[in-house]
Amino acid sequence: MARVVQIEKHQNNITLTLTTALAPSFNVDQSVSHNGCCLTVVHVNPSAAEYQVTAIHETIVKTNLADWKLGDLVNLERSMQHNGRLDGHIVQGHVDTVGICNAIEDQEGSWKFTFTYEGDQLTVEKGSITVNGVSLTVVDARPNQFSVCIIPYTYEHTTFHQLAIGDRVNLEFDIIGKYVQQYMKAYENR
């Protein structure tokens, strides 16, 4: 995770300064996922363990980035190296929509979170979804609603432990499912 330590507005853009132990290993021009939103590192201050990213208007209106405040924690994920293992599912860091957390259920050792969203994207039970950049398995799927269960490790090492009912989250749907859905729409319109 990283903590937001400065927010600066420049015309329609926002430059964020964040701090994390990972910062000294970042390079300018590197892509890093922030709550599932791919942002480019534009400055690194290794001695302060800080770095900066800039979000343009397009990113701000399609994500929950405008909700971030000083002191907020955000989930980080570095880009995949092509010489390593592929854990989770294929995540691009391209947020599809913003969802709303509408239920949190303590299941005595795990937590079930339910989210709603607008749009025509589909979720599939036992399929993949990314919530604020965390790759998860869908446990319940309905039109415009899905649930995921969170194990204690994920709860403690991501921002799920501070998520509350009504919070907005970034959602990235499974890339394979998006391609299948686009193909089916094109086929139907033939």
pLDDT (tens digit per residue) in 132-166: 999 898 999 999 999 999 988 899 999 999 999 99
> Does residue 92 belong to any structural domain of this protein?
no
- Nearest to 53, CA basis, from 64, 63, 43: 43
> Does residue 84 belong to any structural domain of this protein?
no
What pLDDT does residue 141 have? 93
Q: Same structural domain for residues 28 and 109?
A: no
Q: Which domain holds residue 53?
A: 2-78
> Does residue 142 belong to any structural domain of this protein?
yes
pLDDT digits (tens, 9 = 90+) for 104-136: 999 988 899 999 999 988 898 988 899 999 989
Judge whether residue 88 has pLDDT over 80.
no
> Does residue 127 belong to any structural domain of this protein?
yes
> Does residue 36 belong to any structural domain of this protein?
yes
> Does residue 91 belong to any structural domain of this protein?
no
Q: Same structural domain for residues 110 and 146?
A: yes
- Residue 14 belongs to a domain with what CATH number? 2.40.30.20
pLDDT digits (tens, 9 = 90+) for 23-74: 999 999 898 999 999 999 999 999 999 999 999 888 999 899 999 999 999 9
> Does residue 86 belong to any structural domain of this protein?
no
| pTM attached to this predicted model | 0.76
Q: Same structural domain for residues 122 and 178?
A: yes
When divided into structural domains, the chain yields a total of: 2
Q: Mapped to the 3 state alphabet, what secondary structure does the chain carry? A: CEEEEEEEEECCEEEEEEECCCHHHCCCCCEEEECCEEEEEEEEEHHHCEEEEEECHHHHHHCCHHHCCCCCEECEEECCCCCCCCCCCCCCCCCCEEEEEEEEEECCCCEEEEEEECCCCCCCCCCEEEECCEEEEEEEEECCEEEEEECHHHHHHCHHHHCCCCCEEEEEECHHHHHHHHHHHHHHCC
> Does residue 182 belong to any structural domain of this protein?
yes
What pLDDT does residue 58 have? 86
